[in-house]
Amino acid sequence: MRAKEKLLLGLAALLAVLALGVFAAGRLSGAESRSAGEESIPLADWPAADIERFGIEYAGETLTFVKAELPEGQAGSGAAADSDGAAEPESEWRLEGEPETALDQGALSTMLTALAGLQADRALGAASGEYGLDTPTLRFWVTANGATHTFVVGDENGVTGSVYLQREGESEAYLVAASRVAGLKKTRGDLLAEPADTAGKEGVEPTPGQGENAPQSGQTAESAAPGE
């Protein structure tokens, strides 16, 4: 009888160990799934084409960008034509309040790509005062589909090199790869379009053989020289 009881107790203990193992495996699997999900947390649910306006606060400047419709047949001053000769876009981005200021549309396109593809590497829970989000190094906002979303970027994480980010109005903080927001750190001067090269710029000296005393067709250099 005692042997049978011991056998039953042994089987019960074995079943308990197996059940504990199954439970632990389930918890581990769930933790791995959450970790995998945190590798890429989308923070933007709008494509670049749906962005109506956006802006940044960086290096003491506040810049807001709006779409400017171009007159029919007018090429964008800041955007280059496609290599296959495709038509210029019908609108381009300008500074709000400065419609005549030509901007580097390529740099602005990079900014739009960053805004539309914004993702976090990890969710951290409620923001901590140690993240530097109260005194952000960068603040940016996007208006898409009639809604405005604002984010702040805090300090850099000394271990991962990522930066802390938070959406205004929410308590959740995130770690975001620094490269994802690097393209947004621009000043007004960084975004101005370079003036097109023009012929006959002042200060450009004529090359030898050019100018008023240059030999004409059929003349030698001696005959073209002024008399003594």
pTM for this prediction:
0.65
52 contacts: CB under 8 Å, gap ≥ 6: 66, 67, 143, 144, 145, 146
Q: For residues 132 and 154, is the Cβ–Cβ distance under 8 A?
A: yes
State how far the Cα of 78 lies from the Cα of 108, in Å rounded to an integer: 10
Token pair for residue 19? 């059940």
Please say if the pLDDT value at position 207 is more than 80: no
Q: How many CB atoms lie within 10 A of CB 46?
A: 17
Residues 139, 145, 150: CA angle, nearest 5 degrees: 15
pLDDT at 13: 66
Confidence of residue 69 (pLDDT cuts 50, 70, 90): confident
Q: Which of 183, 42, 203 is nearest to 123 (CA)?
A: 42
Q: For residues 99 and 77, is the Cβ–Cβ distance under 8 A?
A: no
State how far the Cα of 216 lies from the Cα of 30, in Å rounded to an integer: 87
Dihedral in degrees, nearest 10, Cα atoms 19, 25, 31, 32: -170
Report pLDDT digits (tens) over 129-144: 999 999 999 999 999 9
Task: Read off the DSSP letter of residue 131.
Answer: G
Report pLDDT digits (tens) over 175-206: 999 999 999 999 999 999 998 664 445 555 55
Report pLDDT digits (tens) over 1-21: 566 666 666 666 666 655 544
pLDDT at 83: 44
Q: How many CB atoms lie within 10 A of CB 157?
A: 17
The mean per-residue pLDDT over the stretch 24-48 comes to: 60
Task: Label residue 82 exposed, middle or buried (CB < 10 Å: 0-12, 13-18, 19+).
Answer: exposed
Residues 25, 29, 31: CA angle, nearest 5 degrees: 115
Report pLDDT digits (tens) over 94-112: 999 999 999 999 999 999 9
State how far the Cα of 197 lies from the Cα of 79, in Å rounded to an integer: 15
Q: Which of 111, 110, 124 is nearest to 175 (CA)?
A: 124
Please say if the pLDDT value at position 24 is more than 50: no
Place of tokens 């208006």: 143
